[in-house]
Structure 1
């Protein structure tokens, strides 16, 4: 049996951050992970460039049953703190829109930084090492894996959610929580593309790859102004991924297809300058041509000369284009989702240390708990913040 002060289950963003932080405090730390490589989700994130944080990260960017839960960790380890870490390691990065930061070279740089920090802090990282059983002992916890048995004082669960099962995602974190009497909230895929009902799928077949700027609004009134993307299965793009976290089965989403202009104002201008031209030709100057053709083909809007459009038709067109409604059939699920909504109930944990209130020395961090960030680096920032907060306490 191997003795270690801290055992971390999961060599992802939160787990490695926690391990290094605890190691620097002089703790003996071991990380176990069933995968072949550390940081597998980091490596494929952001198209391989890893959107590693967001300069604007604040508690408002997170979904959680207790909206105050994230405040402590985020305030004690901010986006700026992580930026300083990558700069100390000399990692080149660049800014994108909306406060997003990406690696210049690739996501491997972030994994290398985390593994270097772990090495400097004396952390042991054991890969291809699956957890079989966990039990509480008088000294802490006994964890049996396919490789060894570990006796630890502090046990940190950083096993992630259910997203991307092909990368080895499992429900082990939820099972351990339930084993020790902690409440686990229902989970669902979030930051995930929508699938469409057959009639809409057939209708928009041929638009795959077309992207346009929009404002997408959920039934609950949450809005995101970003692009949507038509896919061969349905709809994706940043605005759709964002709104998926706020969508429930059976609800429509409302899409403003012209977020920066009023169709009524445009038609008034067209009446002055292009009165003989067709509505179709004029709409094709502001919307993708194939999309306009499909709307006309399915008689959602009718084509006629600009000077023949009545005021009632202008009102209808305005309602249609600025409040276009589509009812998704569902989502693509955990296979393509970026995060898992729900998880270990935050009411069961200390917001300062992430320790379970019912089990001394047992901690939960990162995606396994009921904290879900927006798209754009927010989930990584919570991984860093929760990892540091726990690493300072475990």
Structure 2
């Protein structure tokens, strides 16, 4: 049996629920189909269970895309302040952690409850546990699942990317894009730990050690903590840079973001009898200091070491080159870079230019935010853009 709706949204994640709520409250009859057993599963695990629901400074510069201008329209029309006002209207207590990152004081469940209530206000029907067997297009769209067929003149792809497959994430959005002839920008893991091999395996020996650094990849630089792991590199600064890093390329770590390259010359004058290891142990956790000292291979008191060698060591510490041999993949990636090409979509409505009634929002689109609430803001903004156009 077929059921008639004005719009069908595939995916009950952040973008899909936001879109459905917005369209429902505009009087549209909306159905949301979700493969998982409950809505908002990725939301629930985000931010350590407290949901980093937006970033107060979110703007186009915080996003990667083959077209860096594409996100401007949606982000300008639905801002972080707009979502914060919605959060506050539900009495949800929140706090700013660092760098504009906003979290619930309580639980991510509050954000899911907010979205479900917004959907309820719009009379949105949400059906979970729906495995989609077929998506067909004629004068509208027919979605066939194990429970029946559903028809609507509009279809919204909000099934996300393949990051965090243990939460049920798949590349289904890309399968649909291929079916409809939409171009894809090659998807790859983003906000993901990097792995080390070769001589750099030594750094795995200090698994669990973290330090404040500045990490650079392809002209993008992030000053936050880096964490050494049993497989390589992680921590906020590394995750941020991973979105810009490409296999085969170097990654540069500034171990002394608060000091200049001449630091060791100053140390030599102030305390010439101390060795390099002692000075680095003042600056870094001992295990990291030891491995850096061994790699720099400068033994003896600083007073006996040439200025040229100390300056070179300081410069290396300011721009330490790593050559990651890969990432930990989609299993550990928080999001996906790439996806459905923005060239196929209207930046104002998220509608496919060549296929009437088809929309794509959220992580499925080639727009990827930094770590820190930016991807949620894109979900809200792109969801609103489509919801207002349905």
TM range, normalised to the smaller chain? over 0.9
| C-alpha contact (below 8 Å) 1:301/1:317 kept by paired residues | no
Q: Residue 155 of structure 2 corresponds to which residue in structure 1?
A: 155
- The answer on whether the counterparts of 2:269 and 2:303 sit within 8 Å (CA) in structure 1 is no
Deviation at 1:231, TM superposition (A): 0.8
- The reply to whether residue 183 of structure 1 matches residue 179 of structure 2 is no
Q: Decide which of 296, 301, 308 is 1:305's aligned counterpart.
A: 301
Match runs of 1:36-55 below 5 Å: 36-55=37-56
Please say if 1:26 is aligned against 2:27.
yes
Partner of 2:351: 355
Q: Deviations over 1:237-291 (max 9, x none)?
A: 11111111111111111111000012523532x3343222222112101111111
Distance in 1 separating the partners of 2:169 and 2:98: 30
How big is the shift at 1:229? Answer: 0.5
Structure 1 residue 5 and structure 2 residue 3: aligned?
Answer: no
Q: Is the 8 A contact 2:22 2:387 kept in 1?
A: yes
Q: Does the Cα contact within 8 Å between 1:180 and 1:358 map onto a contact in 2? A: no
**Distance in 2 between residues matched to 1:68 and 1:282, nearest whole Å:** 46
Q: Say whether residues 1:58 and 2:54 are aligned partners.
A: no
> Counterpart of 1:345?
341
| Aligned twin of 2:225 | 227
Equivalent residue, structure 1, for 2:216: 217
State whether structure 2 residue 319 is matched by structure 1 residue 318: no
**C-alpha contact (below 8 Å) 1:101/1:377 kept by paired residues:** yes
SS in 2 for 1:206: helix
| Alignment partner, residue 327 of structure 2 | 331
Could you tell me which residue of structure 2 aligns to residue 79 of structure 1?
Answer: 80
Aligned mates of 2:314, 2:56 — CA distance in 1: 36
**Of residues 282, 287, 293 in structure 2, which corresponds to 1:290?**
287
CA contact (8 A) 1:280 1:304 kept: no
Contact (CA 8 Å) 2:264, 2:310: kept in 1 or not?
A: no
Q: Of the candidates 237, 250, 271, which is equivalent to residue 274 of structure 1?
A: 271
- Normalised TM-score (structure 2): 0.97
CA deviations on 1:304-358 (whole Å, 9 max, x unpaired) are 1121121111122112111110100100000010111111111111111111111
Equivalence for 1:169: 169
**TM-score w.r.t. structure 1 length?**
0.96
| Partners of 2:30 and 2:124 within 8 A in 1 | yes
Residue 198 of structure 1: how far off its partner (Å): 4.2
What is the number of equivalent residue pairs in this alignment?
A: 389
Q: Residue 295 of structure 1: CA displacement?
A: 2.7
Counterparts of 2:271 and 2:234, CA distance in 1: 35
2:253 counterpart residue number = 255
Corresponding residue for residue 115 of structure 2: 114
Query: How big is the shift at 1:199?
Result: 3.1
- Once the two structures are superposed, residues 121-170 of structure 1 have per-residue CA deviations (whole angstroms, 9 ceiling, x without a partner) of 111110000111111122x1111012221011111110000101111112
Contact 2:296-2:313 within 8 A present in 1 as well: no
Gaps of 5+ in 1: none
Distance in structure 1 (CA, Å) of the matches to 2:231 and 2:147: 42
Cα distance in structure 2, aligned partners of 1:301 and 1:104: 48
Cα distance in 2 for residues equivalent to 1:198 and 1:144: 50
- CA deviations 1:1-41 (Å, max 9, x no partner) are 11111110000000000000000001111101010111111
Task: Determine if contact 1:344/1:369 at 8 Å carries over to the other structure.
Answer: yes
Shift of 1:217: 1.1
RMSD over aligned CA atoms reads 1.2
Q: Distance in 2 between matches of 1:143 and 1:223?
A: 44
Q: Provide the rounded CA distance (Å) in 2 between the counterparts of 1:243 and 1:144.
A: 41
Distance in 1, matches of 2:87 and 2:198, equals: 46
What is the CA-CA distance between 1:361 and the residue it aligns to?
Answer: 0.6
Q: Report the Cα distance in structure 1 between the residues aligned to 2:292 and 2:282, rounded to whole angstroms.
A: 15
Is residue 240 of structure 2 the alignment partner of residue 239 of structure 1? Answer: no
SS at match of 1:85: helix
Give the alignment of 1:66-145 within 5 angstroms: 66-138=67-139, 140-145=140-145
Q: Is the CA contact (8 Å cut-off) linking 2:19 and 2:383 kept in structure 1?
A: yes
**Counterpart Cα distance in 1 of 2:330 and 2:279:** 41
